[in-house]
Amino acid sequence: MKALVLLHRWLGIGFCLLFAMWFASGIVMHFVRFPSLDEAARFAGLLPIDLSQVLRGPDEAAAASNKGQVRRVRLLQRADGPVYIASSGSGLVAVHANDLSDASVKSERLALDIAQAHARQRGIEAAHATLDGVADYDQWSVPNGFDHHRPLYRVALHDSAGTELYVSSTTGEVVLATTLKERVWNYLGSVAHWIYPTLLRKHATTWDETVWTLSLMAVIAAIAGAVLGIARLRFSQGRPGSPFRGWHAWHHILGLLTATFVLTWIFSGWLSMDDGLLFSRGRLTSEEAARVGAKPDWRRLKGNQRLIASPAKEVEWFALGNQFYRRERNDLRSQSISAIGSAPGRSPAAHSFLSAEEVDAFVRPISADCAAPIVVGPRDSYPMISQIPGGPVYRSVCGDVWFHVDGGTGAMMERLDPSRRSYRWLYSGLHTLDFPVLLDRPRLRDALVVILCGLGFVFSVTGAAIAWRRLRVHFLPQAGPTDERAI
């Protein structure tokens, strides 16, 4: 018990302010997301494709990319003309659609033109836009999802919202947008909560190990406190009470009242850094990827660009197994997907989304015992949302493993084995309270997050007050006598 007291005391001194910061920033994060460019904004910024300049085909673009296993080729319009973007597991390559020359962005003037064109399409004032820097990392572009786009050109629009756009040097796409309001609130939210200063976060492994270690030590401190809190509980005439006075009593009582939430919230926060250590990652195994990822023969798409309907703002060719599809979009909420047949020059029938049968043909090579895909409903316990508004997400159940496929884009979204399904509840459920009963009652969920994190913050402040008094006793004895008793 004495060892437990010392462990909790000194871990508490070291972590009380970190606990307080996590609870306070957690409230902010619940209402303010980390800056991003959502699909609606991205698509709104696209220009109509000038098909008269599309002189080469997606098959030629795939070959010109020099990527071993291209899985998708997109066609879109930039300020300098239409470009193809070929994607594979090893990265992205952009080539001009008229001559297949390199379309990566090396000019600051071009980056500025691309950002201004994107802003005008979205109705944002961009006449006074300026290039504010070119960098691999800054505070808002540190997530790993931007790795294939680095370095990024940051363009300040100098509009009323303080908007800044980030242009990929690899593809020339606008990949991130921030506003002044988002940036300010995120310093109080995500940056603080994730311990996200650029200097640390740009070193992904170091950041991951640092936050994982701090979170684990916080879990140990919380467990020690819960055990001591129960052990020190006293009963008088059948009523529970605390043997302490002042800050110690408040810390003891609040600790007991919030123990369940504090323990589960800190533990689930630690699990957010798991990344395959205790639970599976939600990705296809190498064997499964090989079964569904046969190398497509892009030569079958020769001349397919001539079948594009005008006007289109984005066209994508992709392979599901050995079947090619062409996906055309001219509106955020509408698209057409055509399965590309073997008959040359024949335009296949188009539909808005992939059917369950098409998804089944894609997934079935993984396992012989896959059930027919079902659509994941909005109130499902394992919710998934299509990239295309209104698009279906299909779930294929293959034995004890589930596969989620986006019916709007054909992308494999997630692999859920029993381990990953448990992780969904132990991390996301406990940390964000996204239980179905609360998702159906968003105001109740908001209130619970604010109340519980608020109580956690006050509890942490009582720990900080005790820590300060303890440090005064040990390091500033001249400050005068104080109550040294601690839980």
Is residue 341 one of the residues assigned to a domain? Answer: no
Cα separation, 155 vs 133, whole angstroms: 7
Is residue 128 one of the residues assigned to a domain? Answer: yes
Q: What is the DSSP string of 187-239?
A: HHTHHHHTT--HHHHTSHHHHHHHHHHHHHHHHHHHHHHHHHHHHT-EEETTE
The 3-class secondary structure across 112-173, one letter per residue, is HHHHHHHHHHCCCCCCCCEEEEEECCCCCCCCHHHHHHCCEEEEECCCCCCCEEEEECCCCC
DSSP bridge partners of 314: 329
Write out the chain's pLDDT in tens, 487 residues: 889 999 999 999 999 999 999 999 999 999 999 999 999 999 999 999 999 999 999 999 999 998 778 999 999 999 999 999 999 888 999 999 999 999 999 999 999 999 999 999 999 999 999 999 999 999 999 999 999 999 999 999 999 999 999 999 999 999 999 999 999 999 999 999 999 999 999 999 999 999 999 999 999 999 999 999 999 998 887 788 899 999 999 999 999 999 999 999 999 999 999 999 999 999 999 889 888 876 788 999 999 999 998 889 999 999 998 889 999 999 999 899 999 974 444 445 678 999 999 999 999 888 878 999 999 998 899 999 999 999 999 999 999 999 999 999 999 999 999 999 999 999 999 999 999 999 999 999 999 999 999 999 999 999 999 999 888 887 776 545 455 444 4
What mean pLDDT, rounded, does the chain reach?
A: 92
Tell me: cis bond preceding 296? Omega within 30 of 0 counts: no
Q: Please report, as a single letter, which amino acid is at residue 96.
A: H
Is residue 78 one of the residues assigned to a domain? Answer: yes
Is residue 487 one of the residues assigned to a domain? Answer: no
Is residue 459 one of the residues assigned to a domain? Answer: no
CB atoms within 10 A of CB 376: 22
Is residue 369 one of the residues assigned to a domain? Answer: no
Is residue 189 one of the residues assigned to a domain? Answer: yes
The per-residue pLDDT for 346 is 45
Please count the structural domains in the chain. 1
Tens of pLDDT, residue by residue over 223-274, are: 999 999 999 998 887 788 899 999 999 999 999 999 999 999 999 999 999 9
Q: How far is CA 385 from CA 277, 371, 377, 390, 471, in A?
A: 26, 21, 9, 9, 50
Q: Please report, as a single letter, which amino acid is at residue 474.
A: H
Tens of pLDDT, residue by residue over 50-108, are: 999 999 999 999 999 987 789 999 999 999 999 999 998 889 999 999 999 999 999 99
CA atoms within 13 A on the CB side of 192: 21
**Residue 402, SS3 per DSSP:** strand
Q: What is the DSSP string of 3-24?
A: HHHHHHHHHHHHHHHHHHHHHH
> Which tokens hold the place of 305?
């660009």
Is residue 399 one of the residues assigned to a domain? Answer: no
Percent above pLDDT 70 for the chain: 96
Range of 120's domain? 39-193
- Contact assessment for residue 175 and residue 168, using Cβ atoms and an 8 Å cutoff: yes
